Amino acid sequence: MRKTRLAVIAMLLAAFILVPAAGALAADTASESATLVTDQMPGKIKAAIEKSLGDEKLAAKTKAVIDPKKEAGYLGIPGAPSPTWWYGLLWAIWVGWIFSTVGAFGGIMAGVGHITIFGLADYAKEFGKGHPVNKAITDSIRVSNQWLVGLSGLISSINYYKMGRLVLPLGACLAIGGVGGSWMVPELTAGKISLKAYIGYFGIIVFILGGFLIYEMSPKGQAGKKAAKAAAAAFEKATKEGNAAEQGVKIVEGNQTFMWIALVLVVASALWFNLIKTPMWVAYILAIAGWSMTFLMGTIRFTFFGVEFKFKAFIPMIGGLFIAAIASFLGIGGGFLFVPFLTSVAGLPMFLVAGTSALCVLVGMIVSIFSYMVGKGVVVQWSLVGAELIGIFIGSMIGPRTSKFIPDKWLKIIFIVLAFYVGIRYTSKGFLGYSLVPPF
């Protein structure tokens, strides 16, 4: 009996000691959270900060980086960089122009702005790898890039379609392969294949790709591109004479009904994979059914300024699948890989490439943005992104209207220069561990 009384007394004493201590600890955590969060913060960022404060190591980093005495910056975080709206507007005009002119490098240039020029990635890195706030900011940067590229893809696609400079079936078939492959390939190979360690070799491949495009501009290379050369010459002549309006792309053969069905199926497969997930076999069936539809489309024939082009619909679908696989393995955007495919494999003049590539990228961006923001609750800073979208609109309206005055040869040169920039970035990142060019 005496032992029982002693045990009860001991338990009561422990309760009197531990409960207030736990309460004090919770109060301290709540107090710390209250000083580090602001009213301007989205709920996602508040949750990330509060989560980090529950871990001793992460909490130390959070307190070291977030300074409650400073003004709220990006995503309402005190002391974070605070890019001005006009800075974002001006940079986005450049991003919209270059993407709508050559059909590539929009994501890379948007990333240069957010990561390097605005300093958002460097700030995120201060929290350390695996920190919830680091991940939240990184996801925000990624989705912000996608908003810029997505709007540019939309505006460019509309403009080029109106101008008769977008091969709709070709762009759609590339997108059908790319959207399905962007989730299925990583899902099937996760833990088995990782090419991120080989990103330096990918940079070398980009150099080779740039060299191949230089070869294509030589007389010998041009000899194998008679249709593209003839179409480009006819377009340049008509532009100078001011009568280029009615001689654009005209589809003369091909079943586009299957194309639209296939596109809907692969987009549905990606959304199912990202948002619903169970049962997973539904996503696989939808993607495979979409890919199969392209075999039913047969041959697509079209003319551009009196010059005829044709392709088997399943070929660009497979090309899009491989491009998506490479992009997914390496963790990069695949937009700049569409352009060499369209010029070298499909044999198009550069005047048709930008709009067709923009359509491929647009479909992928719609799926990705929806998946991140709806499926994962990723947030962006609309005050910055809103200003950037205005800049994107301006740049993307200018690009298609100025590109027609730039000779086909010079459009390729612009692409080659940027391809070498990408080559330097990935080669140095792969072999040196850091990039020699921004984003570092």
Report pLDDT digits (tens) over 42-91: 889 999 998 998 888 899 999 899 988 888 899 999 999 999 899 999 99
At residue 111, the pLDDT reads 87
Quote the pLDDT of residue 10. Answer: 47
- Phi first, then psi: give them for residue 309, nearest 5 degrees: -130, 155
Which has the higher per-residue pLDDT, 222 or 190?
222
d(CA 174, CA 318): 8
Average pLDDT over residues 136-159: 93
Instruction: State phi, psi for 159 to the nearest 5 degrees.
Output: -60, -50
Tell me the sheet residues that pair with 308: 303
Element (H, E) at 368: helix 350-370
Among the residue ranges 159-173, 243-257, 394-408, the one predicted with the least confidence is 243-257
Give residues with Cβ within 8 angstroms of 342, minimum separation 6: 103, 170, 348, 352, 353, 356, 357
More confident site: 9 or 329:
329
> Cα–Cα distance between 431 and 427 in angstroms, integer?
6
CA 324 to chain centre: 11
Confidence of residue 14 (pLDDT cuts 50, 70, 90): very low
State the pTM of this model. 0.85
Which position has the higher pLDDT, 41 or 7?
41
Question: Taking Cα atoms as reference points, which of 372, 378, 348 lies closest to residue 360?
Answer: 348
Q: Are 308 and 250 in contact (CB under 8 A)?
A: no
State how beta strands 307-312 and 250-253 pair: unpaired
Task: State the pLDDT at residue 34.
Answer: 61
> 30 pLDDT exceeds 60?
no
Mean pLDDT, rounded, for 227-248: 81
**pLDDT score, position 37:** 81
pLDDT at 13: 44
Both tokens of residue 159?
A: 């403009």
Mean pLDDT of 369-375: 86
pLDDT score, position 425: 86
For range 102-110, the mean pLDDT? 89
pLDDT at 19: 41
What confidence tier does 9 reach under pLDDT thresholds 50, 70, 90? very low
Residue 23: which pLDDT band, with cuts at 50, 70 and 90?
Answer: very low
What is residue 331's predicted lDDT score, i.e. its pLDDT?
A: 58
Beta-sheet pairing, 307-312 with 299-304:
antiparallel
Q: Is the pLDDT of residue 31 over 90?
A: no
pLDDT tens for 336-351 read: 889 889 988 888 999 9
* Lowest mean pLDDT segment, chosen from 87-101, 114-128, 206-220: 206-220
Instruction: State phi, psi for 59 to the nearest 5 degrees.
Output: -60, -40
Most confident stretch, 57-61, 90-94, 294-298, 424-428: 90-94
Strand partners, 43: none
